[in-house]
A and B are shown apart, each in its own frame.
Chain A
Amino acid sequence: MTSRVPSLILGRLLIALVTLTIVSFAVFFATTLLPGDTATILLGQAATPEAVAGLRTAMHLDEPALLRFVYWIGGLFQGDLGTSYANHMPVATLISGRLANTLKLAGLTTLVSVPLALTLGITAAMWRRTLYDRIVTIATIGVISVPEFVLATLAVLVFAVYLKWLPALSFTYNVDSFSGLLRAYAMPVITLTFGVSAQMIRMTRAAVIETLNTPYVEMALLKGASRPRMVLRHALPNALGPISNAVALSLSYLLGGVIIVETIFNYPGVAKLMVDAVSTRDLPLIQSCAMIFCFGYLILITTADIVAILSNPRLR
């Protein structure tokens, strides 16, 4: 019995690598084939033609785009992300602190949303076609259909304007004390949790229901197992694969979500940095942020696929 799992996973990782190459290609060319000369932008209007020419040579701007792409990728591997146009600081320095902030936000959201979504998704499947299930289903459709900034706006209206529990739009609380930390992170985490959980609940519910329709669950029903026992003992172990797949896929929603949430709550993360970089057209910064996002997204999608492969007993 030879297992097909290693070769399948290897193939999936290879595809991820090819995809990453194509994506970095796209990111690089989308941002370099722009009107305007980089050297002139860096040196400003008053620069002498000699200075511009010198900088062009130093930055390899005279060489073909393909070669510059190779230099850029090489730089990425050595941790050299280039220099920001806007404030002439190394991009790596600008990003490092911000990245930690964004990861903290994403981590907190994951901690809150995964248990919440799994509980709601599994119980909704357990009591399918009841009022409870219908309410959960309609609520998740509602949340999925609405842009993140509307969720954020509603959260601000409810928690900050009417209830006055939390600060509205700014990241002003000191995060030294526990309660300060809680209040500073509450709004962004609540907003993101809504979006992520809605996806996860829907997919979890669908996965459990699919297992509930199998013959061995019917068998459990016939031998008189109670409904919770039928779901938790018989169906759930076999739904674990699809569920973890759903978790990884839903978490990739975070990447789009943080862009809006960091902007609206003025949260100092990578996404906010990138939105600001777009308004100042700071290309090296945009390229690096874009690569970080694409990389994170790819990791989550690939993880989802690999989990799906690993959890399929037929492949072992």
Chain B
Amino acid sequence: MKTNSSTGSLAAWSGYRINLVGLTAFSVVLFWALVALFAPYITPHSVGEMIDLDYFGPMRPGLWLGSDYLGRDMLSRIIYGARYTVGISLAAVSIACFTGVVLGMTSAVLRGPVDMVVSRILDAMNSIPSKLFGLMVVAAVGSSIPVLILTLSVIYVPGAYRFSRALAINIDTMDFIMVARIRGERLPYLIASEILPNIIGPVLADLGLRFVFIVLLLSGLSFLGLGVQPPYADWGALVRENIGGLPFAAPAVIVPSLAIATLTISVNLLIDNLPQKIRDRSAS
């Protein structure tokens, strides 16, 4: 590997090469991840502190993104907003995809009545529009961060289930699964060691898409005032609180909107430009 790697490993790695658009998108995603992670160390001002005498202040040195409707520093609020938007969405998408993929693979392996019942119930859940589902849960139990994470993940389980079930059913017809079955392997081994490694690439790409959906839904709910509640604020909530600045085109409304757009567009572009090897893992 170390010495005679000239052609062999180049060919092996060429499938992992990523193009310029993908790389740019990846940097933006990484940027927001780091911002969310290190938020407390990089905020120039305290999130709740009113430091500007004017409200909806313009961008200027010291207040790089202007001030919000109470004269608070917009830059600090965006940085903290990244924590809520990225954090909640990441938690929700992990739960949704884990549950959906495990159920999907189980259905594909077991078939029969289990598959029928689970598929029918999840299909029914899928035919409730997602925003409506969110509204209903918020009406029922009120909005808090754990409730939001759980609701968002429940909404996106059916999608993850459908996707992974379709992939797993293809794998399930292959000979090595039959061999494993004859060997007497049980369900946990079959799904974890035989099926999962063969569908992991597309499943991860699907996770990225679902992350975008969740960010959009979370922002939408927060924008309606039904998502993240004050004193906390994610990007959707920041747009809502500062919507009064829209007639003067205040940066306080525009910047959080742009923040959401850069994150979601980059994730989408990153997935569209993923290296061939990762996307087509199941085909190879």
The answer, yes or no, to whether B12 is at the interface (CB within 8 Å) is no
Chain A contacts for B264, CB-based, 8 A: 145-147
Roughly how many angstroms separate A34 CA and B130 CA in the complex, as a whole number? 21
The answer, yes or no, to whether B42 is at the interface (CB within 8 Å) is no
Interface size class of A (residues with CB under 8 A): 35 or more
Which A residues from 68 to 118 make CB contacts under 8 A with B?
none
Roughly how many angstroms separate A260 CA and B265 CA in the complex, as a whole number? 20
Roughly how many angstroms separate A3 CA and B197 CA in the complex, as a whole number? 42
The answer, yes or no, to whether A48 is at the interface (CB within 8 Å) is no
Contacts known (A145-B212, A169-B246, A259-B224); A277 close to B139, Cβ less than 8 A: yes
* Contact between A22 and B121, CB atoms less than 8 A apart: yes
* Contact between B260 and A147, CB atoms less than 8 A apart: yes
Chain A interface main SS type: helix
Which B residues from 118 to 134 make CB contacts under 8 A with A?
120-121, 123-125, 127-132
Contact with A along B245-282 (1 / 0, CB 8 A): 01111000110010011001101110010000000000
The answer, yes or no, to whether B187 is at the interface (CB within 8 Å) is no
* Contact between B129 and A156, CB atoms less than 8 A apart: no
Chain B contacts for A53, CB-based, 8 A: none
* Contact between A294 and B127, CB atoms less than 8 A apart: yes
Residue on B nearest A27 in the bound complex, by CB: B136
Roughly how many angstroms separate A290 CA and B87 CA in the complex, as a whole number? 29
Chain B interface main SS type: helix
Residue on A nearest B120 in the bound complex, by CB: A18
Residue on A nearest B136 in the bound complex, by CB: A30
Tell which of A5-13, A119-127, A174-182, A278-286 binds the partner. A278-286
* Contact between B268 and A34, CB atoms less than 8 A apart: no
Chain A contacts for B132, CB-based, 8 A: 255-256, 259, 274, 290, 293-294
Contact with A along B60-81 (1 / 0, CB 8 A): 0000000000000000000000
Roughly how many angstroms separate A145 CA and B246 CA in the complex, as a whole number? 22
Q: Which of B239, B265, B268 contacts A153 (CB 8 A)?
A: B239
Tell which of B44-52, B172-180, B198-206, B215-223 binds the partner. B215-223
* Contact between B140 and A150, CB atoms less than 8 A apart: no
Chain B contacts for A149, CB-based, 8 A: 219-220, 223, 236, 239, 257
The answer, yes or no, to whether A301 is at the interface (CB within 8 Å) is yes
Roughly how many angstroms separate A301 CA and B207 CA in the complex, as a whole number? 24
* Contact between A150 and B260, CB atoms less than 8 A apart: yes
The answer, yes or no, to whether B190 is at the interface (CB within 8 Å) is no
The answer, yes or no, to whether A225 is at the interface (CB within 8 Å) is no
Chain A contacts for B136, CB-based, 8 A: 27, 30-31, 278, 286, 290
Chain A contacts for B246, CB-based, 8 A: 153, 156-157, 161, 168-169
Roughly how many angstroms separate A33 CA and B56 CA in the complex, as a whole number? 43
Roughly how many angstroms separate A147 CA and B238 CA in the complex, as a whole number? 14
Contacts known (A161-B246, A168-B247); A278 close to B139, Cβ less than 8 A: yes
* Contact between A260 and B224, CB atoms less than 8 A apart: yes
* Contact between A275 and B257, CB atoms less than 8 A apart: no
* Contact between B253 and A153, CB atoms less than 8 A apart: yes
Which B residues from 202 to 242 make CB contacts under 8 A with A?
212, 216, 219-220, 223-226, 236, 239
Chain B contacts for A148, CB-based, 8 A: 220
The answer, yes or no, to whether A224 is at the interface (CB within 8 Å) is no
The answer, yes or no, to whether A19 is at the interface (CB within 8 Å) is yes
Roughly how many angstroms separate A281 CA and B139 CA in the complex, as a whole number? 6
* Contact between A147 and B140, CB atoms less than 8 A apart: no
Chain A contacts for B220, CB-based, 8 A: 147-149, 256, 259-260
Chain A contacts for B219, CB-based, 8 A: 147, 149
The answer, yes or no, to whether B135 is at the interface (CB within 8 Å) is yes
Chain B contacts for A146, CB-based, 8 A: 216, 260-261, 264-265
The answer, yes or no, to whether B145 is at the interface (CB within 8 Å) is no
* Contact between B223 and A19, CB atoms less than 8 A apart: no
The answer, yes or no, to whether A144 is at the interface (CB within 8 Å) is yes
The answer, yes or no, to whether B95 is at the interface (CB within 8 Å) is no
Chain A contacts for B261, CB-based, 8 A: 142, 145-146, 150
Chain B contacts for A31, CB-based, 8 A: 136, 139-140
* Contact between B129 and A252, CB atoms less than 8 A apart: yes
Chain A contacts for B130, CB-based, 8 A: 256
Chain A contacts for B254, CB-based, 8 A: 153, 157
10 closest Cβ contacts across the A-B interface?
Answer: A22-B124, A145-B264, A278-B139, A145-B265, A150-B257, A256-B131, A149-B223, A19-B124, A255-B129, A147-B219
- In the assembled complex, 7 residue pairs joining A and B whose CB atoms fall closer than 8 Å, in A order, are A153-B243, A153-B246, A153-B253, A157-B249, A161-B247, A278-B136, A283-B139
Binding site for B on A (CB under 8 A): 15, 18-19, 22-23, 26-27, 30-31, 33-34, 141-142, 144-150, 153-154, 156-157, 160-162, 168-169, 252, 255-256, 259-260, 263-264, 274-275, 277-279, 281, 283, 286, 290, 293-294, 297-298, 301
Known: A145-B265, A146-B264, A153-B239. 8 other contacts (CB 8 A): A22-B124, A27-B128, A142-B265, A149-B257, A150-B257, A168-B247, A274-B132, A297-B127
